[in-house]
Amino acid sequence: MRTSRLVAASLAGVVACGLVVSTTLPASAVASSKPAEGETLKLPAPIGRYATGESTFRLVDNSRSDPWTPNQPFRELMISVFYPAVHTGGKPSTNQFPAAASALIGASLDSGNNLPAGLVNWAATKTHSVQDAAMAPGRFPVVLYSPGAGDPRDSNVTLVENLASQGYVVVTIDHTGEAPATEFPDSHVVGNAPLLAAFAQVGDDQAAATVLLTKVMDIRLADTQLVLNRLSSLPHRLTAGMNLNDIGMFGHSAGGFEAAETMYHDPRVLAGVNLDGTLEFTENPDGTHLSQVALHGLKQPLLLMGSTGRYPSSIHVEPSWASFWQHQKGWKADVTLNDSQHQSFTDAEPLLAQLAGKVPDSTLTYDNGTVDARRAVAADRALVDSFFDRFLKGHDNHLLDGRGASQYPITFVK
């Protein structure tokens, strides 16, 4: 299965190596498979004016059964909420990955990124956010984040946490049954065995791949609707600072596709960013199975951010982006991150760069490209921040008009 535009490297790598995890595991079973101590990788610190907090919640939809778990009459999700906070000094930061799920997530990351097992201690990486910290005073726009297919919701803390530090409430979504492991408050962990089996069964059957990818996106759209509907039901300590009249969404790969499709179907989402995600239901994008958003465009603004690597994405080479560009009614821009690969828009960029000298250079450039990691992170953050500042806060630094763009490794595609 191709990994470039819709299916994350972590998922495709697991399928390829034959690793299948159980659908539901008790925390004790996961804990027994902890990886050996390895390298501790560090996420880049956010640069906004606010400290950040993180809270996690379980959401349950009793109106639909779980599409990946037979006989489960409800759909359950986990979300994380990152937000501007106060009084976090001296308090411990949260872990990037939940403790009970980190072994399975780590195994998936190792296989998907061709890393030796045990080289990285994926349970040790910390965020810069304090659990349930007091929220900063004010009312902040809300932005949803969705990861690529096969990635956990915690796979882009670099962008999410920085956005929260700039004065946003950012809600990240685990699409249960896609991520290698989703840990719930009662400590049970749900893996992705049914999804892996479905991708393995598809093989080279393009028609079957289209059916499966359509199913994945339909599930994601329903999950996002659940999250949007429940935002106002979160604890008052959070909702008191959330401006639910200004909602945006961004995502990587399938998550970027999901953000655009959500905007097409739900006017509550006012602005969106697609990080290197195709807008069609095909393994190898060729314009044959375009989505509604690719066929009709949007009234809301959408920023396309593409890579230049094995499967470059821009309005000139990606058929679904070209169709969207032709039909888009709202504001639009296409920005390329130079010398990048598909994972250059995620935490893989700053984290894997720390393994230089410990793995072959080809391993790092395969997922991250040759762009300097610090410059890539700076560019990704600057573009995402500038976009949401412009369309959710009304503050425009004109980066998306090209002003100051020369300091970043980016090209505006016309």
**Length of the chain as a residue count:** 414
Give the pLDDT of residue 132: 97
Give the pLDDT of residue 11: 56
Of 289, 291, 239, 278, whose CA–CA distance to 135 is shortest?
A: 239
Give the pLDDT of residue 364: 95
Sign of CA dihedral 301, 318, 412, 407: positive
Q: Using alpha carbons, list the distances in angstroms from residue 20 to 74, 116, 145, 148.
A: 23, 18, 26, 18
Residue by residue, pLDDT tens for the chain (414 residues) are 234 456 554 455 433 333 333 344 444 444 444 445 799 999 999 999 999 999 999 999 999 999 998 899 999 999 999 999 998 888 999 999 998 999 999 999 999 999 999 999 999 999 999 999 999 999 999 999 999 999 999 999 999 999 999 999 999 999 999 999 999 999 999 999 999 999 999 988 999 999 999 999 999 999 999 999 999 999 999 999 999 999 999 999 999 999 999 999 999 999 999 999 999 999 888 999 999 999 999 999 999 999 999 989 999 999 999 999 999 999 999 999 999 999 999 999 999 999 999 999 999 999 899 999 999 999 999 999 999 999 999 999 999 999 999 999 999 999
Give the pLDDT of residue 13: 44
